[in-house]
Amino acid sequence: MSDAIKVAGPDGSPQEFPRGVKVAEVVRALYPDRAEVTVAALVDGKEADLQVALQADVSAFRPITVDTPEGLEVLRHSTSHLMANAVKSLFPQAKVTIGPAIDTGFYYDFDVPGTFSPEDLARIEARMAEVGQADLPFIRMEWPKAQAIAFFREQGEHYKVEIIEGIEDPIVSIYRVGDFVDLCTGPHVPSTSRIRAFKLLSTAGAYWRGDERNPMLQRIYGTSFPDRASLEAHLRRLEEARERDHRKLGRELDLFSVQEDAGGGLIFWHPKGTRVRMVIEELLRRELLRAGYQFVTTPHLVRRDLLGISGHLDFYSEYMYAPMDVEGQQYIVKPMNCPGHILIYRSALRSYRELPIRLAELGTVYRFERSGVLHGLLRVRGFTQDDAHIFCRPEQLLGEITQILQMMFAVLRLFGFDRYEVYLSTRPEKFVGVRESWDQAEAALADALKALGCTYEVDAGGGAFYGPKVDLKIMDVLDRAWQCGTVQVDFNFPERFDLAYISESGARARPIMVHRAILGSLERFMGVLIEHYRGAFPTWLAPVQAVVLNVTQAQEPYGEQVYQRLLREGVRVERDFRNETLGHKIRDAQLKKVPYMLVIGKREAEAGGVSPRTRAGQDLKCMPLEQFLDRLREECRPCTEGLLG
């Protein structure tokens, strides 16, 4: 055997190294300008630590630098081990479980008596800094499975034993950093001194393996970055996100609430929140009617058998509520609207001349979510979808998908979202129907996206069980992505429900069904809107567009006239004639994020006008009420005109 091996260089040409050369040495030789920021490497497609000794030729070699998503994941996973080291040092009785990197940082779950306090987090963080400065190496070891089980059993780490027992490979990888030994596939940074900028953020309860029948663990969340500046920028974004939290703003602005007396995950819309919803719903209804949709209303209960025909019982039963017995028949609160729309289509004999038939419904559905994942408006148990189903002929499919996407983009732009990510999700492992139909559906979606010039990513295997789909994720002001609209092509439900139309030749033909939602769940979209605008909705969407404020009680009669006139004009207006100072009333209106405060003093009452003040603090001169109404109409014009021409 030769004492030399060959490793592919940056241009692909082989470079010679001594057998047993460390990955770190190869990085320094081939990528000297990136060596300082490299935390691991990709060796023939597999991630490897820098201390790994290479024993064979390498046809593909790439350093993983900390300024890439892969490198940041390595750093954050290493930081979770550093945190576990500190926890075991300070709380020897703690049992360790798992500690992965996640999109925003990392977490680690511990089995400890009681809970971690903020003071505990500060102590853990300080201990992490000490271990980091000690520059302890991350040492990788490979043990026989039996040896690993014996070691962790002796340590009393029964969670690790359980994990190892579920591993099929006879050899498992172990990492040691100082006195802390953990089961892990790696890779990790070379030593703790590479972990320089981190912060522990919060704690939460979490069931072992996500199962509520298992013990409740204590989870510590944290984040880690290559440098202090990046960490501080992230912490500022987190603080901004906290200020925009829709649950906090929902309370402060009196938009909605979750009443635990009624049950978690069920939203109670207060008058102001309902006003915003009404504006959104009216806009959607107007645009859909202009686009040739017909509105329908379907019951909240559905026979269980119907969901068996659709296949939902086989694929979504875990998200459905238990059936109720009604006169010997089993009913379920509906988890989706499509079976009801299918029955409406099937209620009459259809001709090819009628197609496409576009049925729309703002339909409320109910899905079971575990209490641990419920999150304000973003994860609920009852929600309303801006749902629609189109039944069309094959030659109409491309046009229908294109129209849906155009409307989707136009509506989202109106709400202030002009940045989004588009995904084409293809056939999953478990699906219904035949592959040929799936291929045809995927091609139609791709053709529509290309026709509109949309850049998209393919989410292989991410389709629904009944058909492929296009999903839109909108980007908010903090660059967070939110799942919104979807378009799904379905050849399978028409087959399962034996849907038909009479073709031009007089023969019986099968329609294609398109499922689509523009905003998705109204609850979720409202949560995103609240956070995007920080509760300061644009004038056309604000629950209260103006509030009338009198300077003294002498102006109250005229103020009432102004208030009544604005009501007649359809303005969402309130009045504040309390015996308080004008400054106090202005501050209250600003806290409520009302776009306009209409100040009425002696001058305004005598002139028959108002003095508007914006929530940003701009004082506008006294103007006739009609002039203010013209200003308001102009600001609301985008939501009164047709979006698609």
CATH number of the domain within which 518 lies: 3.30.930.10
Q: Among this protein's residues, is 294 annotated catalytic?
A: no
Predicted local confidence at residue 643, as pLDDT = 64
The one catalytic residue in 385, 403, 488, 555 is: 385
What would the two tokens of residue 580 be? 């308080």
61 in the same domain as 74: no
The one catalytic residue in 109, 120, 182, 387 is: 387
Domain assignment of residue 262, yes or no: no
pLDDT tier, 440 (very low <50, low <70, confident <90, very high otherwise)? confident
Helix (H) and strand (E) counts in the chain? 19, 33
3-state SS, 271-282, equals HHHHHHHHHHHH
Q: What is the mean pLDDT of residues 461-475?
A: 86
48 in the same domain as 14: yes
For 152-156, the CB contacts below 8 A with 24+ separation are 152/183, 155/181, 156/95
Give the count of beta carbons closer than 10 Å to the beta carbon of residue 496: 16
Mind listing the pLDDT tens digit for each residue in 118-155?
A: 999 999 999 999 999 999 999 999 999 999 999 999 99
Angular region, 311: left φ>0, alpha ψ -120 to 50, beta rest: left
74 in the same domain as 51: no
Tokens 């490897």 belong to which residue? 48
Cis amide bond preceding 100, omega within 30 = no
Strand, helix or coil at 258? strand
Q: Among this protein's residues, is 234 annotated catalytic?
A: no
Domain assignment of residue 257, yes or no: no
Question: CA of 318: how far to CAs of 210, 335, 336, 467, in Å?
Answer: 15, 11, 14, 20
Identify whether the C-beta of residue 256 lies closer than 8 Å to the C-beta of residue 273: yes
344 in the same domain as 479: yes
The one catalytic residue in 77, 515, 575, 585 is: 515
Pairing mode of beta strands 596-600, 623-624: unpaired
Q: Among this protein's residues, is 188 annotated catalytic?
A: no
The one catalytic residue in 81, 199, 338, 585 is: 338
Q: Among this protein's residues, is 510 annotated catalytic?
A: no
Strand, helix or coil at 548? strand
Predicted local confidence at residue 1, as pLDDT = 53
Predicted local confidence at residue 357, as pLDDT = 97
Mind listing the pLDDT tens digit for each residue in 12-22?
A: 899 999 999 99
451 in the same domain as 315: yes
Dihedral, CA atoms, 613, 618, 619, 625, nearest 10 degrees?
-40
188 in the same domain as 93: yes
339 in the same domain as 285: yes
450 in the same domain as 428: yes
408 in the same domain as 288: yes
Predicted local confidence at residue 439, as pLDDT = 86
- 431 vs 302 pLDDT, higher one: 302
> How many CA atoms does the CB half-sphere of 185 hold within 13 Å?
9
Mind listing the pLDDT tens digit for each residue in 210-246?
A: 877 899 999 999 999 999 999 999 999 999 989 999 9
Q: Among this protein's residues, is 300 annotated catalytic?
A: no
% of the chain surpassing 70 pLDDT = 99
CATH of the domain at 20: 3.10.20.30
Predicted local confidence at residue 393, as pLDDT = 93
Q: How far apart are CA 379 and CA 321, in angstroms?
A: 16
Domain-ending residue, one of 40, 65, 90: 65
What would the two tokens of residue 411 be? 């509506």
Domain assignment of residue 264, yes or no: no
Predicted local confidence at residue 373, as pLDDT = 79
Tokens 């007649």 belong to which residue? 568
303 in the same domain as 436: yes
* pLDDT for 641 beyond 80: no
Question: CA of 385: how far to CAs of 33, 244, 335, in Å?
Answer: 52, 24, 11
pTM of the model: 0.82
Domain assignment of residue 450, yes or no: yes
- 12 vs 529 pLDDT, higher one: 529
Expressed as residue numbers, the domain containing 45 is: 4-65
The one catalytic residue in 160, 246, 389, 572 is: 389
Predicted local confidence at residue 434, as pLDDT = 77
Domain-ending residue, one of 27, 44, 65: 65
Q: How far apart are CA 5 and CA 238, in angstroms?
A: 48
212 in the same domain as 142: yes
* pLDDT for 482 beyond 90: no
Q: Indicate the number of domains in the chain.
A: 4
Predicted local confidence at residue 310, as pLDDT = 83
Identify whether the C-beta of residue 362 lies closer than 8 Å to the C-beta of residue 296: no
Domain assignment of residue 566, yes or no: yes
* pLDDT for 644 beyond 70: no
Mind listing the pLDDT tens digit for each residue in 545-560?
A: 999 999 999 999 999 9
Q: How far apart are CA 562 and CA 564, in angstroms?
A: 6
CATH of the domain at 590: 3.40.50.800
Mind listing the pLDDT tens digit for each residue in 50-67?
A: 999 999 999 999 999 999
pLDDT tier, 112 (very low <50, low <70, confident <90, very high otherwise)? very high
Mean pLDDT of the chain: 91
Domain assignment of residue 142, yes or no: yes
The one catalytic residue in 367, 427, 516, 585 is: 367
Mind listing the pLDDT tens digit for each residue in 606-635?
A: 999 999 999 988 999 899 999 999 999 999
Mind listing the pLDDT tens digit for each residue in 316-358?
A: 778 888 889 888 899 999 999 999 999 999 999 999 999 999 9
Domain assignment of residue 250, yes or no: no
Domain-ending residue, one of 507, 533, 559: 533
410 in the same domain as 336: yes
Pairing mode of beta strands 573-576, 546-550: parallel
Q: Among this protein's residues, is 272 annotated catalytic?
A: no
Q: What is the DSSP string of 577-644?
A: --SS-HHHHHHHHHHTT-SEEEEE-HHHHHHTEEEEEETTSPBPPPEEHHHHHHHHHHHHGGGTS-S-
The one catalytic residue in 381, 469, 572, 613 is: 469
Mind listing the pLDDT tens digit for each residue in 380-418?
A: 999 999 999 999 998 999 999 999 999 999 999 999 998
Phi/psi of residue 55, nearest 5 degrees:
-115, -5
Predicted local confidence at residue 639, as pLDDT = 73
pLDDT tier, 427 (very low <50, low <70, confident <90, very high otherwise)? confident
Q: What is the mean pLDDT of residues 552-579?
A: 94
Q: Among this protein's residues, is 392 annotated catalytic?
A: no
* pLDDT for 637 beyond 90: no
What would the two tokens of residue 589 be? 């209106």
Q: How far apart are CA 138 and CA 593, in angstroms?
A: 52
Mind listing the pLDDT tens digit for each residue in 177-197?
A: 998 999 999 899 999 999 999
